[in-house]
Amino acid sequence: MKSLQQARELVAALPALPAADTPLQDAVGGILAEPVRTRLPLPHTDTSAMDGWALAAPRRQEVGGRLSWQVRRPGAEHPGTRLPALEAGEAIGVVTGSPVPAGTVSVLRSEHSRLEPTDTVRHSSPEGERESTGTLTALPETPDLQPGRNIRPAGVEAPAGQELLAAGDTLTPVRTAVAAVAGYDTVRIHPVPRVQILTTGSEVISAGLPEPGQVRDTFTLSLPGMVADLGGAVTTVTRLDDDVTGLHEELTATAAHLVLTTGGTAHSRADTLRPALQRCGAEILIDSVDMRPGHPVLLARLPSGTLVLGLPGNPLAGFAALTLLGRPLLGALRGVPAPECAEVFTASAGEDLEPARRGQRLLPVRRTGGSIRSAGFSRPHMMRGLAYAEAFAVIPPRGIQTGEPVTCHPVPGHHLPPHPRRAPWDD
Ligand SMILES: Nc1nc2c(c(=O)[nH]1)N[C@H]1C(S)=C(S)[C@@H](COP(=O)(O)OP(=O)(O)OC[C@H]3O[C@@H](n4cnc5c(N)ncnc54)[C@H](O)[C@@H]3O)O[C@H]1N2
Ligand code: MOO
């Protein structure tokens, strides 16, 4: 038996999955093992921010007292068109995102321009399929003649070699796009752990009203979302009868980094986890933790290196064990640096909170105002209180008095708004 603190320290110290170069499309959710630096300046070339005209320095010819430019050549058909250099007094059509040609001073947006046609040539332009060559003037009030106007200069966002993402950062969907913009096709990440879920119990049913001797399954529906919130990717969810051979076969065949089992952690003849692990030659790393509920939780390492976290079958016990050990365990496998892993918060007790008979008590709590209170219905076989609880509070053996600070661990996947809806049974 380990103390809760010993167990959490042990799982948090497990080595991260080895980092690997991973195509960006497979890398979302991974933790960067190396920083991402720009491989080019951002943007890498001067581009237009508007549909309109790239203007060279004007010649001193004026039309009706205004500056003018000559349009002699077809403009950009799309943002990929590369345009020839401009001579003084020349303008050429550009679209948003076009690299502006050498010699451009500013970009005049199309709605601030007027073109006096001299000829019509067939090609696309900001004004449509047919573009005229001719003399271009700008509306008097336009600010677009200021040098640099409507040009996104190369390197304005970042020079080449700038660190944009740090080692240890989670590759969120947006950060994956940032890595692509920085010029990467692959990134070096600690991969997202593959998690296989095995629920045991011949009495567990997945549909309909349970007969005496049956129980509706609480884990198959909830664990995938909770695991996803902890940063794992669930590969398969399988329900097994209380059969050591079936469980042993699944454990020897698994390709997961982590197997989560539910039920069968105790010592009765119906409990299959320990005999199955023994048959596999597994090393037991944690054999029960001094906490209630959830004390029969078990952590083992298979000869293949795959870890097995055995959650107790009582629903509240299973969820408590996943909350307290699953978060640091998956965080360690993912290579999450400790601060990002620490979602734990401290709140003041809004009432006296009773301890467990033995060890640390894990109590579902709700936040009301600035303090926390028991969510109620906290027996290990109950689920009702947890439906409106945002965290498990850790109550030490001496109990907690009103006003004392309490350490709380958010329930994975259970993101409640700051002012959660009241439970249906609140008055
Ligand atoms: N003699 C002792 N008996 C028990 C002890 C003990 O110390 N000595 N500890 C109790 C505690 S505490 C717990 S927790 C459970 C641990 O049990 P197991 O992990 O072996 O789980 P099972 O026996 O398979 O099931 C326990 C309970 O949970 C229900 N269950 C199981 N799976 C599901 C599921 N998917 N969905 C809903 N409910 C599930 C199952 O029907 C049982 O009622 O052992 C105590 N006994
Ligand atoms: O884990 Mo049991 O209370 O400890 O349900």
Give the pLDDT of residue 400. 97
Question: Which DSSP helix (H) or strand (E) runs through 273?
Answer: helix 273-280
47-152 in CATH: which number? 2.170.190
Question: Which DSSP helix (H) or strand (E) runs through 181?
Answer: helix 173-181
CB of 292 sitting under 6 A from ligand 2: yes
Confidence of residue 370 (pLDDT cuts 50, 70, 90): confident
Look up the CATH architecture of domain 345-410. Answer: Beta Barrel (2.40)
Confidence of residue 356 (pLDDT cuts 50, 70, 90): very high
ipTM of the complex: 0.96
Q: Find the residues whose C-beta lies inside 6 A of ligand 1.
A: 199, 201, 203-204, 215, 217-219, 262-266, 271, 293, 295-296, 312-315, 317, 380-381
Confidence of residue 130 (pLDDT cuts 50, 70, 90): low
Question: Which DSSP helix (H) or strand (E) runs through 9?
Answer: helix 4-12
**28-32, 50-54, 79-83: least confidently modelled range:** 79-83
Q: How far, in Å, from the CA of 292 to the mean position of ligand 2?
A: 6
Half-sphere exposure of 281 (CA within 13 A, CB side): 4
* Cβ-proximal residues to 67 (8 Å cutoff; 6+ apart), any chain: 58, 137, 138, 145
More confident residue, 301 or 125: 301
Confidence of residue 232 (pLDDT cuts 50, 70, 90): very high
Q: How far, in Å, from the CA of 344 to the mean position of ligand 2?
A: 22
Using the predicted structure, report yes or no on whether residue 225 has a pLDDT greater than 80.
Answer: yes
* High-pLDDT (> 90) share of the chain, %: 81
Determine the Cα–Cα distance for residues 354 and 149; give it in Å rounded to an integer: 68
Q: Report yes or no: 164 and 33 within 8 Å, Cβ to Cβ.
A: no
Give the pLDDT of residue 80. 84
Ligand closest to 378 (CA) is 2
Residue type, 407: T
Q: How confident is the model over 277-291, as a mean pLDDT?
A: 96
Domain 27-42+158-190 has CATH 3.90.105.10: yes
Using the predicted structure, report yes or no on whether residue 293 has a pLDDT greater than 60.
Answer: yes
Give the pLDDT of residue 425. 77
Q: How far, in Å, from the CA of 292 to the mean position of ligand 1?
A: 13
Q: How confident is the model over 68-85, as a mean pLDDT?
A: 89
CB of 112 sitting under 6 A from ligand 2: no
Give the pLDDT of residue 124. 53
- Segment 149-183, tens digit of pLDDT: 999 999 999 999 999 999 999 999 999 999 999 99
| Probe residue for ligand 1, chosen from 314, 319, 324, 361 as the CB with the greatest number of ligand atoms within 8 Å | 314
**6-20, 75-89, 229-243, 309-323: least confidently modelled range:** 75-89
CATH class of 4-15+192-341: alpha beta
**25-29, 52-56, 290-294, 322-326: least confidently modelled range:** 25-29
pTM (two decimals): 0.81
Using the predicted structure, report yes or no on whether residue 342 has a pLDDT greater than 60.
Answer: yes
Domain extent listing, the chain: 4-15+192-341, 27-42+158-190, 47-152, 345-410
The reply to whether 27-42+158-190 and 345-410 are identical in fold is no
Nearest-atom number in ligand 2 for the CA of 294 is 1
Name the residue at shortest CA distance from atom 6 of ligand 1: 266
Ligand closest to 271 (CA) is 1
Give the pLDDT of residue 424. 76
Determine the Cα–Cα distance for residues 102 and 69; give it in Å rounded to an integer: 16
- Segment 50-70, tens digit of pLDDT: 999 999 998 765 656 678 999
Give the pLDDT of residue 421. 67
Take residue 329 and report the two structure tokens written for it. 């365990």
Using the predicted structure, report yes or no on whether residue 349 has a pLDDT greater than 60.
Answer: yes
Q: Strand 307-311 to strand 258-262: parallel, antiparallel, or no bridges (unpaired)?
A: parallel
Give the pLDDT of residue 364. 97
